Amino acid sequence: MSCKCENLEDKIKKYRHLRFKSIIEARKAKEPDEIFKELNIHNECCRKKIKQGYLKIIDEINEEKIINLILVSEKARPAALLQQVSDGQLRKLKRRFPNLIYTALLQKEEFSSYFVSRKKLPVRKTEEDSQIYTGRILGYQNPVNFRTQLARYFVHYWAINGEDKIDFYAEGIIFKSRYKSNKEKFAKALKPYGYTVEEEIKKNPKYKSKKELKEWQKQFSR
């Protein structure tokens, strides 16, 4: 009897989401069997197809990664963070952008994360928070420690090519009036590749007043 796995594409997406979510929240990926139990998938045939579909997805080079590597190579930003990169994908990226430095951040069996830069990464300062350090590497104008401080605004940039609209860059900022737009330099770097750039600044709906923020910060000082 042939194996029939219903809603396979949807199950692959859910598997990928839970796999990646576990890394973000716990810095450790859940084992496939744990996720399959969570999704109530017990058929071995379906499990195999889901794994194959998942590996195919993460092996593809998506447009957002390419856009950020172009920006780094064109000196429009100092570094980028590539997440969920497989060994095969990394080899393709290195062939396309051989002059960039790929620094491993988080390595797993199936994929890894890398900082990609033109120059050697700056050394982390003594007592510097990891989130502040990461923001500084990526060229954020006002790096924020999200454990103790909330960004008042979020800045988003999209690369547009025909009907495609790719969200390739975002950062949190405190003062909108002090923020220097990246739109012009991003657009200049991406124009030869057929992209235009759109910028948007929106207030963070979770931003707290100074009084609320002090109360919220207390939980991190206990």
> pLDDT tens for residues 71-82?
999 999 999 999
Q: Is residue 50 part of a domain?
A: yes
pLDDT in tens, 142-167: 887 766 777 888 899 999 988 888 89
- Quick one: pLDDT band at residue 169, thresholds 50, 70, 90? very high
Domain count, the chain: 2
Whole-number Å distance between alpha carbons of 1 and 3 = 7
For residues 99 and 42, state if they share a domain.
Answer: no
Sign of CA dihedral 57, 60, 63, 65: positive
Whole-number Å distance between alpha carbons of 29 and 106 = 11
Range(s) of the domain holding residue 54: 8-59
For residues 76 and 166, state if they share a domain.
Answer: yes
For residues 35 and 74, state if they share a domain.
Answer: no
For residues 54 and 84, state if they share a domain.
Answer: no
* This model's pTM is above 0.75: no
Residue 6 has pLDDT above 70, yes or no: yes
Residue 27: the pLDDT is: 46
- Quick one: pLDDT band at residue 218, thresholds 50, 70, 90? low
For residues 20 and 101, state if they share a domain.
Answer: no
pLDDT in tens, 10-20: 888 888 777 76
For residues 106 and 172, state if they share a domain.
Answer: yes
For residues 140 and 182, state if they share a domain.
Answer: yes
Q: How many CB atoms lie within 10 A of CB 77?
A: 21
Q: Is residue 80 part of a domain?
A: yes
Q: Is residue 184 part of a domain?
A: yes
| Residue-by-residue DSSP string for 72-137 | HHTTSSSEEEEEEE-HHHHHHHHHHSTTSEEEEEEE-SS-EEEEEESSPPPPPPTT--HHHHHHHH
Q: How many CB atoms lie within 10 A of CB 155?
A: 22
For residues 17 and 101, state if they share a domain.
Answer: no
Whole-number Å distance between alpha carbons of 215 and 209 = 10
For residues 117 and 180, state if they share a domain.
Answer: yes
Q: Is residue 44 part of a domain?
A: yes
For residues 119 and 184, state if they share a domain.
Answer: yes
Please, which residues have CB within 8 angstroms of residue 140's CB and are 6 or more apart in sequence?
A: 171, 172
For residues 73 and 139, state if they share a domain.
Answer: yes
Which H or E run includes 53?
A: helix 44-59
Q: Is residue 219 part of a domain?
A: no
- Quick one: pLDDT band at residue 190, thresholds 50, 70, 90? very high
